[in-house]
A and B are shown apart, each in its own frame.
Chain A
Amino acid sequence: MAAQTLYEKLWSSHVVHEEADGTALIYIDRHLVHEVTSPQAFEGLKLAGRKPWRISSIVATADHNTPTDHWEQGILDPVSRQQVETLDANIREVGSLAYFPFKDERQGIVHVIGPENGATLPGMTVVCGDSHTSTHGAFACLAHGIGTSEVEHVMATQCLLQKKSRTMLIRVDGQLGQGVTAKDVVLAIIGKIGTAGGTGYAMEFGGSAIRSLSMEGRMTICNMAIEAGARAGMVGVDETTIEYLEGRPFSPKGEAWEQAVAYWRTLKSDEGAQFDKVVELKAEDILPQVTWGTSPEMVTTVDGRVPDPAAVADPVRREGIERALKYMGLEPNTPITEIAVDQVFIGSCTNSRIEDLREAAAVAKGRRKADSVKRVLVVPGSGLVKRQAEDEGLHEIFVAAGFEWREPGCSMCLAMNADRLEPGERCASTSNRNFEGRQGAGGRTHLVSPAMAAAAAVTGHFTDVRQLG
């Protein structure tokens, strides 16, 4: 048989039916559900008198709207509360494999709890009404975000209508420098290929630098495949994958584990498999990254400067940069390290796992939040991450540094709860999107790694974390 890419293996093992024009019905193994994109789907199902096809595929949690402090007060915003209570009622009625409601010890961001509970397993198709579902591709899953109509479609049929994507390999070889993290790698990739560079592609990340990353790092990279335009990002299975999954609550046990692992080891691109496109980066060339604009592709290195639109010939691009600088309140040619921040956010489905918190704590240890910084939020990705961080004493480091240690949730990544920027405030954020208004109307977001966010918190401006020592 011809050499196959990982994507082709995942695709062909899930085709239920194919139309003449190539539109296929793809079977869905895991359906992750949260409160924002599901109520209309549950309602549609009910109105049509349809039953969910396989409730044991559903893992649900409330994360987008939930507050990250004063849990004893419940959810104060009545509209947010209604949405979370609607999910409670829907899951109660319909059922699920697992539900981690607000305040549950295993509640958290849907893309953190899936993997940490072993509910995301190699070889699965994983969908969720959330674009960052690409995260789960780190486990050699075919994982991508869907809209609410498709949430309803998956509930009713356990399938999705899909067309096969083209394949892209992003190969990062070499050794990452000290202080350079998975977040810097993925921002560098987006900077290179652009936010539409991966449109129409399923993106596989490979090469020795990717192999050397932990599962947390791989999840950070796959999480932002969507920011490069690719609905799905993925990494092939290796020992790191298998070690991470062993013993997780929903991971197979005993004989089933052995059987699963034997299959999972085949879930990588074959030697000589052909991709439609290959992009290569050298790990040694990647420096800590900071975005300066209102799209993740508007990114440079920490030693760089804000670009000058006058130097750009293409009028659509030039106007885009001008508009972004105006929104961001930045002058052309300003050194990145001279940009001061008002708030710092460490969290989100991109960077809220234990390794991210360790990286931030390593920088925060023995230092204090700069007086000019109003607030530093540290929001763990889940209750389990929070507990582990507390077991390791990380929360004490953050609190001693003047950072706020919060309860888990999506928080200021998209500011659906009370955590948000005020108009004009500037934030160093470990999240995934720097769009206008993303962290609050008029807020200005700069995307960075957890270590770079902590460095900005303690110095008050962007600082090369490698020089902090």
Chain B
Amino acid sequence: MNPFTKLDGLVAPLDRANVDTDAIIPKQFLKSIKRSGFGPNAFDEWRYLDVGQPGQDNSKRPLNPDFVLNQPRYQGAQILLTRDNFGCGSSREHAPWALEDYGFRVLIGPSFADIFFNNSFKNGLLPIKLDAAEVDELFRQCEANEGYRLVVDLAAQTITRPDGRTIGFDIDPFRKECLLNGWDDIGLTLRHADKIKAYEERRRAEHPYYFA
């Protein structure tokens, strides 16, 4: 996993609540057995005017001019502003894969769905929860100012606006550490292999029927 430390990035606003993972990456692209290459199909049904299929040359497809991420001013955005319950629905990790492959590294919103939130951290994508009022203000500023950027500092747990205001955010210390260092969860867990074995032996003795 790529470490995440600090980012000074262009911001794009996606002003709708309950953006589900079917919208982030539609099911036909889940047939891939790879982990990469989902970016061109992120938000496929909103982004293009035709129906996308796996294996297409996406650069030749007609773009939907009404979709916010297609506006020239948001090209190259690395920070996505979202509304409530972003990432709800399916557990498909293809959703964070698609967002990351598109170029996003940070998501800022009032709330995220649990499984999506969890999946994001495994892919170097930082979802940040802020008060709804703070998010509202970021939407206002972003829409009013072309080229709107934010500086996200994970170590300091701050977001700095162009007007100089700094907003603090919360993150689990364990997740922060993993993201800062780009640590692989599995490697970390296997440091506890002896404890896992001991637990397993105990459980097998107490509840053999779970091991049949």
CB < 8 Å neighbour of B122 from A147, A159, A196, A263? A147
Sample 19 A-B pairs with CB under 8 A, ordered by A number: A16-B199, A36-B31, A53-B196, A56-B212, A65-B31, A82-B33, A129-B91, A144-B115, A146-B115, A147-B93, A147-B96, A149-B119, A150-B122, A156-B190, A196-B84, A229-B85, A317-B17, A435-B23, A442-B51
The size of the chain A interface, using a CB distance under 8 A, is 82
A-B contact count (CB 8 A): 193
Minimal beta-carbon separation of B211 from chain A (angstroms) = 7
Residues of B within 8 A of A (CB): 16-18, 20, 22-23, 26-28, 30-35, 45, 51, 54-55, 83-85, 88-93, 96, 111, 113-115, 118-119, 122-123, 172-175, 185-186, 189-190, 192-193, 195-196, 199-200, 203, 207-212
Contacts of A153 in B (CB 8 A): 185-186, 189
Cα-based distance from A257 to B76 in the complex (angstroms): 60
Cα-based distance from A436 to B122 in the complex (angstroms): 27
Q: Sorted from nearest, which 5 A-B pairs have the closest CB atoms?
A: A147-B93, A147-B119, A252-B209, A145-B91, A149-B122
Cα-based distance from A40 to B34 in the complex (angstroms): 6
Closest to A230 in B: B114
The yes or no answer to A179 lying at the interface (CB within 8 A) is: no
CB < 8 Å neighbour of B208 from A19, A37, A145, A256? A256
Which of A21-29, A370-378, A379-387, A461-469 lines the interface with chain B?
A21-29
The yes or no answer to A337 lying at the interface (CB within 8 A) is: no
Cα-based distance from A153 to B187 in the complex (angstroms): 9
* B18, A320: Cβ atoms closer than 8 Å: yes
Which residues of chain A from 292 to 347 have a CB within 8 Å of any chain B CB? 295, 316-317, 319-320, 323
Residues of A within 8 A of B (CB): 16-17, 19-21, 23, 25, 27, 29, 36-37, 39-40, 43-44, 48, 50, 53-54, 56, 64-65, 77, 79-80, 82-83, 86, 121, 123-124, 129-131, 133, 144-150, 152-153, 156-159, 161, 163, 195-196, 199-200, 226, 229-231, 250, 252, 256-257, 259-260, 263, 295, 316-317, 319-320, 323, 414-416, 423, 433, 435-438, 441-442
* A436, B16: Cβ atoms closer than 8 Å: no
* B190, A86: Cβ atoms closer than 8 Å: no
Q: Which of A56, A323, A435 has the most CB of B within 10 A?
A: A435
Minimal beta-carbon separation of A130 from chain B (angstroms) = 6
Contacts of A259 in B (CB 8 A): 209
CB < 8 Å neighbour of B210 from A17, A121, A226? A121
Cα-based distance from A415 to B90 in the complex (angstroms): 14
Cα-based distance from A145 to B193 in the complex (angstroms): 24
